[in-house]
Structure 1
Amino acid sequence: MANFDPAKYEKVKGAGQLPSPKGAALNIIRLTQKNDVTLLELERVIRTDPAFVGRLIKAANLVNGPAARAIVSVREALMILGISSVRNLSLGFSLISNFQQGRCRHFDFPAFWSHSLVTALAFQAINQHTRAAQLDEAFSIGLLCRVGELALAILYPEQYDELLTRAQNERNQSLIALERSVFLLNHAELSSALLHEWGIPQIYVDAVFFHDQSEMSPFPEGSRSYVLCHALALARHIADICLSPATERKAKLPQLYRMGAWLSIDAGTLNELCDQVTAAWPEWAEMLNLKSIPLPSFGTLASQAPDGVMDGAEKRKPLRLLIVEDDKSSRLLLKAIIENDGHQVLLAADGEEGFAIAIEQRPDIVITDWMMAGMNGLELTRALRKTKDGRGIYIILLTTKENEDDLVQAFEAGADDFISKPLRPKTISARLTAGQRMIALQRDNERDQAELRRFAEELSLANRRLHEMAMTDALTGFPNLRYAMDRLDQEWSLAKRSGRSLSCMILDSDDFKPINDTLGHDVGDLVLQRISSAIHSAIRAPDVICRLGGDEFIVICPDTSLEAALVCAERVRQRVAALSGTIESVNRTISVSIGVAVREQDMAEPKDLLKRADEGAYQAKQEGRNRVATVQPRPQALP
């Protein structure tokens, strides 16, 4: 179900070295790919990596549970986890060890792995509740679900660095949308492609592909795929909370509980689950040479008083303020008053310094004296309002001027408020409270706009998926009849303008109806899928294969002469014929009859080309089937 384009993935692979296991981990993975590998052979290779031995035994004990006897040997760990889980754990731990740094400056490699580790622990804990995945598999999938981001940072360090900066500044665009505009694949597609290549089961690949936008996933509610997708999204959000600054964690809790509700996990159970994750995090982090953060219990976070109105006073998130004042004593007095209210303070001694700090640090509020040497407060206000970042800053002017004309001038310059000198703590606190209220409203508006943009992006994505579904045959994954006709019209117009050849094939399966009638439609569908794969493997890269319906296919061959199309058709016929053999204990011959045609000068429209190809397919049937035929003796020159 994960809809990544293999051709685009191959192009990305060609851009450089993708993240892959090394050393002992590579030997372990190669060994697990052998059908006859024994636990003894695997144990010998694992023992060459002492660090992996410790991590493997730790993982086995987690799966085994605290009540069981402790696992102390590699052999016992292998018996508990199984070969496939050992392979996946080896892969994940190897990537952590070998990709701790890189040239992409804005991609925090240690933070990425810390986030991935918490996601792994959280996904494992959630699956203890949902039982949708084995615990050892859940840990590996959680650890690797963001590997596409790592791959982009490694393959395209300069480009991805610039893109991450844009994603931070251009909040009207999601990271996935920016990635798609710059690279061939976004990180969700690349993560899925890598996991698919590494042999991860498809049900987990699908969960990784859709979990970034889990509410838009196509899985039926309550299905295993649905649970895995939403559980992985919830695990990611738990990791977001754990690695967020302390001041931002509480604001993320409502979304946590909403996401838990999708999985029928109540708030109390979810708090306990999260505490289980944070308790396991430090030990795992130490083992993997990563950092962990001490955290209060999630129950404590949830029980803290919410931000809001309390006894008439606005209790809001602390702000960051910049004071621009050339008088040192006034500057320090303001600093003391504002810090006493719980806010963070930046200082500047003149307008020029204040402008530089404001642009670099982007404070919530600038308090500036009007009368200063050099750039005064009014000039600073005008300068800030001319910049993109400065337009959103709340600006308060300190002034001794109180006549109407001066105040009008201040507001016309872009000031939001003013405070008259001499400075009084109560007045300053009251004006800051008003500013806080406006900033809170501004942030609410920004969040609403971001939510609307996100909804629009999700709607656009859903529409694209619906369009793709409308143009795709569900059984074979090939484009359908509707797409075939549109594409043939396009290629016809291009061939007519350029004077190049355009050929097509009509392929009709021989004796397919008896298979359906005697063995059932399930077997018939399987045969059609095999025929489809054989056709796809035999045609050339520029050729376009579509399913017309039933057991009939079309191959559109741009810039192809009749002779070349006949050669290709014969190759297709041979590939399909090679499928013949025993099906459901019955020996069956599988073959196709293929009609080939090329665009001729007297053809007026695409349906004329289709008619000639269809006549060729009919002739092939009449001549005994399992053959290639054309009703055209030779291609004619085109204008």
Structure 2
Amino acid sequence: MAPPINTAHFEQLKASGDLPSPKGVALAIMRLTSQDDVSMAELARIIRTDPAFVGRLIKAANGVIGYGRRPIASVQDALTVLGMPAIRTMALGFSLMTNYKSGACEAFDYADYWSSCLAAAVTTQAVCMRTRAAAPDETYCLGLLASVGELALATLYPKEYAEVLREVKAKPGLQIIELESRRFGMNHAELGAAMLADWGMPRVFTEAAYHSDGLGDCPFPDGSRERTLTEALMIARTMGELCLTAEAARPPVMRRLLQLGSRLSFDESSTVELCDGVAREWVEWGVLLNVKAEALPPFEQMRRQAAQVDEVPAEQEAPSDPVAVKAPEPVAPVAEAIVRPLVAPAPEPAGLSVLLASADEAASAALRQLLLNAGYKVAIVRDVSMAAEFALDYEPDIFVVDWALTDKGGEESIRAVRETRIGRGMFIVILSERRDEEFMVRAYGLGVDDVLSKPVSPRLLLARLEAGKRVTTMHSEIERDREEIRHFAAELAVSNRRLQEVAMMDPLTGFPNRRFFVDRLLQEWAASTRNKRPLSCVIVDVDNFRIINDTYGHEVGDSVLRQISTAMRDVLRSHDVVARTGGDEFLVMCPDTPLEAAQACAERLRAAVEGAEIVSGMLNLKLTVSVGLAARDASIGDTDALVRRAEQGLQTAKQAGRNRVSGVQLRPHVAGA
């Protein structure tokens, strides 16, 4: 089932150096993680040199820890949560996104490509958190990179691939896969899967990426992990497409999304809920990564629109006037459903957008032409029941309502618009034959910005709209300022996390400090109580360290501590938490670890230091450590008591001659103690 790509051809492409590849810190991370003896502290040190990657990594870790857990705030915690494979592929994905935001292929929309990939990443993660087909952190990376073959072809063959894209656009029925294969001897799905495999992604991921591109029937059996991952990626690709689709063209894409969700036993309400969450996450990630990601309307609304379009008879789907849509005679409720999806703006002038709600076909046509000549974009809706809904979807700068739509209908439309965040920024003008005081007071009370008498004076209308233009321009500037503030807030959050991390980090060894350790120990104590799981604590003290400082000086002492820390780090398990809590003292917390396993861990630490060759300048030193340990039992009432018990074990080890491990557990741990 492996993607059929010519290996020799792919190796030639790699050798050319032109394939998209990681750079800078990401390249250093990938090289480091390819080594067998890499340590978390060394990896964290490299990651900290790139503040932007730190922020992205911490956000990714917080996305997979689940509800009710303390938010991740440090690189060390993020590494523990995500693990080495996810860190590697995240570094790769974020590096490609940073370094390939533009390129030489003129017909390839780089901004839309990354926007779609980001939506796919968030969707894949969300789906896999529900299906448990794979680790959510790794599937985020899979979604982000699943379409990397498209970027690769645009990078390798910018002119030729631009021609392929233009040909496909000119002939909608043409299959891009076939054109790519004829032109380049491979298609983007094959190339992308080969690149993912070359970057070390599991085979199940590369095959899912290849088959999710719609290349024939999915070959995997129903219910298999491969099938679930493939269908998760198909949902993700469709979600990416929907995020970039114009409002009027969304219903068929939404239907396809619901159908794909049903394959994974998601009912429509579950799919809608999932998509709403993805849309919010997509916007948040977009701010952090500086990738285009705009807020989407509620997916329940899109689901209803898709269902309504399904019900429309085929002969009603294509109006003769592509700009102004007149509602059919109200012979059936479903007839009104086609008005909103089919109302389309006029061809794109450079000016502001105007939505004209008017049932008078002749008057609205004249006003439309007047506004087009003045440089406005114009859309018309003639069904009063759809005016407010379309105004919120189309989001015009100026909303002109003909009060002849009936007082009640016009009033309800304006009130509905003004009650929304989007509607509060619109400039609303009403056209009415009434000018009495009662009417004017009621209109302005609804939130109308201006009232014009009918018949409308063209010069006066344009003058009033010019005033509205100033107001809407001011709103746009305010919104841009808010966006800048949001972006600044995201960057500030990253900086704050880094400051918090520095405050909890020992600069000499790269280990967390006592403050961090105490905080984590309290968390694990609560988890131990709640889940009835064991918890152990180990304390390590360097034997005769004061003699080294007094004899050789503090510079040598610092070098010794760094090398001892490296030796300890290499033998700790990934879920152990180590901290430097004093001059030559270290604390290690071992979650889900009974006394016997903690004793084995402590012995590994002792042996690692004893066997390490400590070199500083011309000195070649052999050092040892004494280790005390304790496991939670019924006699230990809190975290302080657990640490004190470990300290008692340390004193016993020192009194017995040093370079040894000592610890006891008085009574078995009682659940809830």
The alignment's TM-score, normalised by the length of structure 1, stands at 0.50
Query: Of the two structures, which has the highest relative contact order with CA contacts closer than 8 Å and spacing of 6 or more?
Result: 2
TM-score (norm 2): 0.48
